[in-house]
Structure 1
Amino acid sequence: MRTEAVLAQFGDIQVAELTGWVERGWVQPDGAGPGVWEFREIDIARVRLIHDLRRDLDVREDAVPLVLSLLDQVYELRCAIKSMVRAVGAQPPPVREAVLTALKSPPG
């Protein structure tokens, strides 16, 4: 999706604001500038997230990088957990049971 289409989808974002988000690395479309940027689905989701943080939740601009970093970490952890669940699920039943028992045990 091109810049113009993104701006049309979010009627209250101006090109200067979107450009700032890209320059700060909050959104990473393909292309060399506003006229040629190509936003993928993940970029649109990121724009939506930043838009909601700034407009709906009133998150200050200086706090946005921290919020984005924390949300990125949560996403990465969820992906890692899904991978582990698949890996454990692919093991023979005795191994699965041993892993599940170990997970239920208190730490230490």
Structure 2
Amino acid sequence: MTMNKQDFLSRAGLQVQTLELWLEQRWLIPEQTSAGTNFSDMDVARARLIRDLKDDFGVNDAGVDVILHLLDQLHGLRRAFDQLHRDI
């Protein structure tokens, strides 16, 4: 499901300023179309994860960068292994 910025902010529980900062840091990379910015359920889940890391676990910005990078690598490897499994 895709949603606009207002729906995303509501579902993710974020303020506009926080979203703008996270977009600048490229922690969130929503789909850009000619109609505007579209957020997905995956973006909501990622925003909630970032919020939990910062608020509940006290992770600083550098730590969030590392954690997100590692998670992205992990998901990329899972996709590659799934493709390899299908090819074999």
Classify 1:2/1:73 alpha carbon distance in 2 versus 1 (closer, same or farther; 3 Å): same
The one-letter amino acid of 2:61's match is: E
Taking structure 2 as the reference length, the TM-score comes to 0.78
User: Residues 1-108 of structure 1: matches in 2 within 5 Å?
Assistant: 1-11=3-13, 13-31=14-32, 37-88=37-88
Deviations for 1:46-84, whole angstroms, at most 9, x for unmatched residues? 212212222222211221111111111111111111112
**Over alpha carbons, which structure has the higher Rg?**
1
- Aligned partners of 1:39 and 1:87: how far apart in 2? 32
Q: Which runs of 5+ in 1 are unaligned?
A: 89-108
Q: Which runs of 5+ in 2 are unaligned?
A: none
Which structure features the higher share of strand residues? 2
Deviations for 1:30-54, whole angstroms, at most 9, x for unmatched residues? 349xxx5321233222212212222
Considering only aligned residues, what root-mean-square deviation do their CA atoms show, in Å? 2.0
Classify 1:78/1:86 alpha carbon distance in 2 versus 1 (closer, same or farther; 3 Å): same
Deviations for 1:3-38, whole angstroms, at most 9, x for unmatched residues? 221222233x21101110001111112349xxx532
1:101 equivalent in structure 2: none
Matched residue SS, 1:38: strand
Matched residue SS, 2:75: helix
Percent identity of the aligned residues?
37
The one-letter amino acid of 1:17's match is: T
